[in-house]
Structure 1
Amino acid sequence: MKLSHPFPHAAAAIAIVACLFLSGCATKLAQPITGYTCCNLRPDYGWVSSTNMLGGPIMPAGEPVVLDTMKRDTYFFGTIGGDYVSLRDDAARSKDDALRWARQIVVPTDPRVALAGWSPEVQKAVYAAKVVPGMTRPQVLMALSYPSRNDTKDLNASSWRYWTTQEDEPVDILFGADGAVSGFSGKPSAVRTVEFRR
């Protein structure tokens, strides 16, 4: 005997709403954004966000990317490494803001070429999505991706703030006058999320 859904109209309505949400304002990009992941990304339940909470799974730098759909001027859809993915720019105030962010995350050349020329210790730190004192800003970017623009408005600043899944605590990456990482600031549990232990 075939069982029917106890609320068939509700099930149909949910399906329609889901379809509208996924397709309602979504438009194909005239030119898909293609390239490679600039850095290690942190997907959270299938989303990569500009908020960039550290902790959890890593989507590594150098994965091939095709973003072909945009929705509500902040959401992107496509594939990374062949897997379907959704991205959102939580700080975007316009479509241009979101497109700039997407083009930071998706770069035209494979970053693993640059990574191969860095010291073995820096390579290990990047592969682990961690930071070691002495790393440059580009090396930190590849390891951790971009800090949220809400907290770090200038990438030339003497510190970058990242939020971690450890008690929802921030950790600051500190840069010395030479532009290299000089240390960390934050609760020990948050610092452990980013600091590479030799």
Structure 2
Amino acid sequence: MLKRLAAAALLAATVVPVSVVHAQRPSPPPGPLTSGFLCCNMRTYGDSISDINYDEQGTSIVAVGTPARITGYDFRFFNLDLAGKPQRIKNDYSRNITLIDFAKRYVVTEDPKQKMAAFPPAVSTAIRAGKVMPGMTREQVLMAIGYPVAGENPSLEATTWRYWRDSWSEYQVNFDDKGLVKTVVGDPVALSRVLAATP
């Protein structure tokens, strides 16, 4: 009996405790901490912006040309300072492009407002209102309503860009062979929110 107890005590003393190893997330990808300007009108939920850019209740617009400074990168989003306010822009639906390329879409080095000053007044007014109109260039559409998500629009040279006003309401911007907006197609509510009145 004593031998058995001694053997059990020896065994207990020699067992190495198993430590629980938690899987660590890989380090976020490094990227340039660029300063510049917001490419386009984007809707924020307070401190977070999605690439889908839904026009939902409770969101507010951060205007095209807002001073922007990237402060860090994470797995599907990058952090930035927009005119003194912390935000993050999340890659929800454009995961077929790298996070660095994703960030370069939204923080640009040339101030869009300077370009807008050379646009026809009706176009500049539409962009500031977050609306599109026939005759706009692709660049002007981007300034007004942001990028169409890359998951559904792999090529920005396509003649149709698909956008979503919310989870149920799609609208499409169609370009002619010169790269100018030909038509905007969607349900009446979406069109009332995105289509500018023509002069």
* TM class by smaller structure: 0.7 to 0.9
Question: What is the distance in 2 between the residues matched to 1:49 and 1:142?
Answer: 16
1:22-33 matches, cutoff 5 A: 31-33=32-34
How far is the alpha carbon of 1:38 from its aligned partner? 0.8
Question: What is the distance in 2 between the residues matched to 1:29 and 1:153?
Answer: 24
1:59 corresponds to 2:74: no
Q: Which amino acid aligns with 1:44?
A: Y
Q: Is the 1:28–1:69 contact (alpha carbons within 8 Å) kept by the matching residues of 2? A: no
1:193 corresponds to 2:196: no
Equivalent position SS for 1:103: helix
The answer for the alignment partner of 1:82 in structure 2 is 84
Structure 2's unaligned 5+ residue stretches are 1-24
The answer for the alignment partner of 1:179 in structure 2 is 179
Q: RMSD between aligned alpha carbons?
A: 2.2
Are the structure 2 counterparts of residues 29 and 124 from structure 1 closer, same or farther at C-alpha, using a change threshold of 3 Å? same
Are the structure 2 counterparts of residues 26 and 92 from structure 1 closer, same or farther at C-alpha, using a change threshold of 3 Å? farther
Q: Is the 2:134–2:183 contact (alpha carbons within 8 Å) kept by the matching residues of 1? A: yes
Question: What is the distance in 1 between the residues matched to 2:49 and 2:27?
Answer: 18
Equivalent position SS for 2:69: strand
Are the structure 2 counterparts of residues 92 and 120 from structure 1 closer, same or farther at C-alpha, using a change threshold of 3 Å? closer
The CA deviation string for residues 102-126 of structure 1, in whole angstroms up to 9 with x for no partner, is 1110001111111000000000000
Are the structure 2 counterparts of residues 170 and 64 from structure 1 closer, same or farther at C-alpha, using a change threshold of 3 Å? same
1:1-198 matches, cutoff 5 A: 31-55=32-56, 56-71=59-74, 73-91=75-93, 93=95, 97-165=98-166, 168-198=168-198
Equivalent position SS for 1:185: strand
- When normalised by structure 1's length, the TM-score is 0.79
Question: What is the distance in 2 between the residues matched to 1:77 and 1:169?
Answer: 28
Q: Is the 2:94–2:149 contact (alpha carbons within 8 Å) kept by the matching residues of 1? A: no
Q: Is the 1:26–1:69 contact (alpha carbons within 8 Å) kept by the matching residues of 2? A: no
Equivalent position SS for 1:121: helix
Larger Rg: 2
Question: What is the distance in 2 between the residues matched to 1:65 and 1:50?
Answer: 16
Equivalent position SS for 2:151: coil
Taking every aligned residue pair, what percent have the same amino acid on both sides?
30
The number of aligned residues is 172
Q: Which amino acid aligns with 2:72?
A: T
Question: What is the distance in 2 between the residues matched to 1:176 and 1:196?
Answer: 18
Structure 1's unaligned 5+ residue stretches are 1-23
Q: Which amino acid aligns with 2:152?
A: D
Q: Is the 2:95–2:151 contact (alpha carbons within 8 Å) kept by the matching residues of 1? A: no
How far is the alpha carbon of 1:190 from its aligned partner? 1.2
Are the structure 2 counterparts of residues 111 and 187 from structure 1 closer, same or farther at C-alpha, using a change threshold of 3 Å? same
How far is the alpha carbon of 1:54 from its aligned partner? 3.3
Are the structure 2 counterparts of residues 137 and 93 from structure 1 closer, same or farther at C-alpha, using a change threshold of 3 Å? closer
